[in-house]
Every structure is written in C-alpha cells, then in structure tokens.
C-alpha cells in the first residue's frame, strides 16, 4: 500500500497568516494515464470531509483561491494564504492513483 | 443536486454483522462508483472499498475477508455488509462518490461488547 506521510500534525496560525502542509508518498502518484491523483480534503469540526483540491492543483468549485496545491511525483504541498477563521479543521491528503486509496494522517489547523 | 446519505443501525453487538445503505441522488450508479470510508472516534480516515460503475468491487485487504459491497441501481442504493464486528469497528462510516467530490453525512456506528 502507498504510505502518505503528512506533516505537520498540527498548526496554530493567526488570521491572515499563510501556512503550508506537506504530503509525501512512498510511491510515485503518476498514473498510467499521466494524471496525478492527489487530493486535499478538509474536515471541518463535526462535518464530513470535503474535497478542496484534486489532481494536485485543481480547485473545486467554490473553494477560495487562497488555497493552492502544488507538487509532483511523490512530494506535494497545500498552501493556504491569508488564513480565515472558517479554514479551521483537519486537512487530509489522499492519493487516488493506487488501490487501496490511502490518506495522510491529517493536519489539524487551529486559529490563534 | 448530488447527494449521498448513509443509513443503518447506530448500535451493533460484537460478533454480529453491520449492514449500511448509501442512498444516492443526482447521479447514476452506472456512471459513478461509490466508495466507503470510515473514521474511528478521534482518528483519521480509512478507505474500505469501492463498487465501480460496472459493478466490480475492490476492498481494503485488511477488511476483505469480512466486507462486501453491493448495489441496487434501480433504487440508487449501495450496500455495505461487514461481519464479525469488534469494538474497534466503532466508527463513523461515510459513502462518497468515487470522484470524492460528494460525501454523505456519515453514519455513526458503535459496536458493543
């Protein structure tokens, strides 16, 4: 199984600051169709997970452009610019290239 | 709009079988697969398995011996059955479209010893 190593496990940030979350995979996430199926999800407190970004850098509809994803092969980053209060929750990376799909362990974002 | 909703028992006895239903709307099960994911209390997310749009299935190897996923396309429903439950199967169980862009609200299941 592909292991997704996500860091840091938690972040505490003031409103308006920027943060980055790293996700490294144990295997390349480039699929046979040349796409890279790396997703970022946010689970707000008491809510279901919600996909923010797919295929490394594509934002889902309605996701603010303060969110951005980057990376390739085995090394990926989620950046949140100008953090807002509504951004708090747990962020997960999820690879969809290889079965079984595997998640990172999560990064809990708290607002100072 | 696209919606998924999980339903099933809240409390199950250890050693018994869990049966959950995911009822979808706004899309067809012949066009999209459905994934089951679970989350133990205070822990992360675990992929359980998928039923593809053609009806084929794939399972997490750790659960494969206990898990089955089926569907009724005419009712837009996907079914999860997992036997020999233990207390560490206590979790919130989510269904999601295979594209991961739509998730159910989750079904909280407690396994009692």
What is the Cα–Cα distance from B107 to A91, expressed in whole angstroms? 21
pLDDT score for A39: 98
Are the Cβ atoms of B100 and A92 closer than 8 angstroms?
Answer: no
Structure tokens at B34: 């459905």
Partners of residue B44 in chain A, C-beta under 8 Å: 92, 103-106
Number of H helices, E strands in chain B: 0, 10
Are the Cβ atoms of B35 and A101 closer than 8 angstroms?
Answer: yes
What is the Cα–Cα distance from A75 to A26, expressed in whole angstroms? 9
Q: What is the mean pLDDT of residues B70-93?
A: 98
pLDDT score for A46: 95
pLDDT score for B24: 98
Q: Dihedral (C-alpha) A43, B5, B29, A93: value to the nearest 10 degrees?
A: 10
pLDDT score for B51: 98
When CB atoms are compared, the residue of A99, A101, A103 closest to B44 is: A103
Are the Cβ atoms of A48 and B61 closer than 8 angstroms?
Answer: no
Beta bridge partner(s), residue B51: B34, B57
DSSP string, B64-76: TTTEEEEEEGGGT
**Mean pLDDT in runs of 10 for chain A (112 residues)?**
98 97 98 98 97 98 97 98 96 97 98 92
Q: How confident is the model at residue B82 (pLDDT cuts 50, 70, 90)?
A: very high
- Smallest CA–CA distance from A60 into chain B, residue: B101
Q: pLDDT of A37-50, one tens digit each?
A: 999 999 999 999 99
Are the Cβ atoms of A103 and B105 closer than 8 angstroms?
Answer: no
Yes or no: say if B71 and B29 are a contact pair by the CB < 8 Å rule. yes
Q: pLDDT of B17-56, one tens digit each?
A: 999 999 999 999 999 999 999 999 999 999 999 999 999 9
Q: What is the mean pLDDT of residues B70-96?
A: 98
pLDDT score for A11: 96
When CB atoms are compared, the residue of A54, A96, A100 closest to B60 is: A100
């Amino acid at each position: 199984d592909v292991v997704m190593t996500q860091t840091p496990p938690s972040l505490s940030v003031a409103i308006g600051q920027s943060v980055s979350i790293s996700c490294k995979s144990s295997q390349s996430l480039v699929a046979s169709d040349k796409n890279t199926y790396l997703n970022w999800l946010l689970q707000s407190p008491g809510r279901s997970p919600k996909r923010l970004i797919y295929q490394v850098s594509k934002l889902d509809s309605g996701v603010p452009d303060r969110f951005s994803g980057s990376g390739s092969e085995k090394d990926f980053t989620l950046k949140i610019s100008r953090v807002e209060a509504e951004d708090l929750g747990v962020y997960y990376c999820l690879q969809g290239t290889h079965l079984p799909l595997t998640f990172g362990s999560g990064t809990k974002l708290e607002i100072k | 709009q696209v919606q998924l909703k999980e339903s099933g028992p809240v409390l199950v006895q250890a050693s018994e079988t869990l049966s959950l239903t995911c009822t979808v709307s706004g899309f067809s099960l012949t066009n999209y697969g459905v994934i089951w994911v679970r989350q133990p209390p205070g822990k992360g997310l675990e992929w359980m398995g998928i039923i593809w749009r053609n009806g084929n299935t794939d399972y997490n190897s750790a659960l494969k011996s206990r898990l089955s996923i089926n569907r009724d396309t005419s009712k837009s429903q996907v079914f999860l059955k997992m036997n020999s439950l233990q207390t560490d199967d206590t979790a919130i169980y989510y269904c999601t479209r295979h594209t991961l862009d739509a998730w159910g609200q989750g079904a909280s299941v407690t396994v009692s010893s």
